[in-house]
Amino acid sequence: MKYEKFEQTTAIQNKVIPLALKGVDILGASKSGTGKTASYLLPLLNRLQKVVKSEHKVIRALIIVPTIELADQVSRNISAFGKYLNIKSIKIQGGSPKSIQIDKLSYGCDIVVATPGRLQDFIKNKKINLSNVNTVILDEADTMLDLGFLAEIKAILSHCKQPRHTMLFSATISQNIKKLGKEFLNKPAIVEVSDRRDVVDMINHKAYKVDKNRKAELTTKLIENFGASQILLFASSKISANKIYEYLQNKKIRVSIIHGDIKRGDRAKSLGLLKNGKTQVLVATDIAARGIDIKELPLVINYDLPQLTDDFTHRVGRTGRANHKGMVISILTTREYRAFSKIERDLKLSIKREVYKGFELTDTQPRQTQPKKKSLIEKKGGFDFHKKRVEKRKRKNSNIKDIKRGRK
């Protein structure tokens, strides 16, 4: 990783770094690809390098992440940013032998990067001591809540030092994230970086409509014709991922796969094959792909469209990073039209829906809802305006009747 290429800070870094250096608790909302990891690691390393010791190291900082892949990414960033510092970090995560991690802990470290399940297991079995931890960072907290790690997070934080400096990051600040922040953060600064035009502008979006039974066939055609050397293809479930993986294999496309049922070592191997150019396509589910960082990834394919805009944003964030242009292709069957329209509205995008040559549609297309024409009443100010006119007319008529009867 060549960080010397970084010439300026991103929006999230501009907001978070000064606050983190002052020790202010932070509740941050930032999407993938915005430079969030550096925004909390740089202040953390700056603080630790002033107090760490060469010997008798104790855990002073804890970074909790939802997935093994994100733990790997954060650990790589610590190694790169702290290359010339006397700071030692250890990963505590599933998918690797406990004995190796316990052995590393016995030699001491300054930072632990951990997934909640394995860390909670170590706490219960008294294999780790968090009593000196005075900085806690919860990265992608929304994903951890989605995975059902709330109880583990609460239990883990109860073992950390008080008072402490806590930073919580999420894709969006939902009600659940606010509740979590209220419980564990002390008068936090709210940092939201919702405008991702800097990332969107680096990405060329395409969308192709296709019949349901020709979806895999079109995907193969696009992979062959666009000719990208590295492609990250997203499926919505493990079953769908396995099916498209097998289909692409049968079509002689070099492909690997990662999802929750695949062992840690095999997932790392699959990712390595793509990074090293030995496979062209990596099929992934959303959870398994959190934290994946592929340098200058040229193409992301949404084989299945996600239901949530946040998941779409996470996928899109794998490409168009660090000022390198990328492309995202979304493949749409009739059942995905509505969800795609919502994503466009949420992200303020307008993506042309195309039909690829040779894949003309035969599936029944949903009727296009025509915008309802406004009535004359609505054009003139709506029913309130109309009601006022009616009441005014009634009063006028009443007055005329009274005059005719000689009451006035």
CA count, 13 A, side-chain hemisphere, 230: 18
C-alpha angle with apex 406: 403 to 408, nearest 5 degrees?
Answer: 60
Q: What is the spatial distance between Cα 403 and Cα 408, in angstroms, rounded to a whole number?
A: 5
Q: What is the spatial distance between Cα 194 and Cα 11, in angstroms, rounded to a whole number?
A: 10
Tell me: the pLDDT tens digits for 184-193? 999 999 998 8
Burial (CB count within 10 angstroms: exposed 0-12, middle 13-18, buried 19+), residue 194: exposed
Tokens of 188: 């936090």
Distance of CA 95 to the CA centre of its chain: 22
**At residue 94, what are phi and psi to the nearest 5 degrees?**
-70, 170
Torsion on CA atoms 87, 141, 197, 23, rounded to nearest 10: -50
Instruction: Map out the domains of the chain with their CATH numbers.
Output: 3-193 (3.40.50.300), 197-354 (3.40.50.300)
Look at residue 221 in the predicted model and tell me its pLDDT.
96
Look at residue 4 in the predicted model and tell me its pLDDT.
46
Distance of CA 391 to the CA centre of its chain: 55
Torsion on CA atoms 154, 160, 162, 168, rounded to nearest 10: -60
3-state secondary structure (DSSP) of residue 159: coil
Q: Which residue in this structure is represented by tokens 């990067």?
A: 113
Look at residue 408 in the predicted model and tell me its pLDDT.
45
**Cα separations in angstroms, 389 against 46, 110, 400:** 70, 75, 17
Distance of CA 117 to the CA centre of its chain: 20
One pLDDT digit (tens) per residue for the chain, 408 residues: 444 456 788 889 999 999 999 999 999 988 766 788 999 999 999 999 999 887 789 999 999 998 888 899 899 999 999 999 999 999 999 878 999 999 999 999 999 999 999 999 999 999 999 999 999 999 989 888 877 888 999 999 999 999 999 999 987 788 888 889 999 999 999 998 854 444 456 789 999 999 999 999 999 999 999 989 999 999 999 999 999 999 999 999 999 999 878 877 788 788 888 888 899 999 999 876 666 777 788 999 999 999 888 788 888 888 876 667 889 999 999 999 999 999 999 888 899 999 999 999 999 998 765 555 555 555 555 555 556 666 767 666 666 655 555 544
Mean pLDDT of the chain: 86
Q: What is the spatial distance between Cα 145 and Cα 170, in angstroms, rounded to a whole number?
A: 10
Rg, the chain, Cα only: 27
Look at residue 68 in the predicted model and tell me its pLDDT.
85
Look at residue 254 in the predicted model and tell me its pLDDT.
95
Nearest to 116 by CA among 146, 139, 91, 93: 93
Residues with Cβ within 8 Å of 228's Cβ and at least 6 positions away in sequence, in order, are: 280, 298, 299, 327
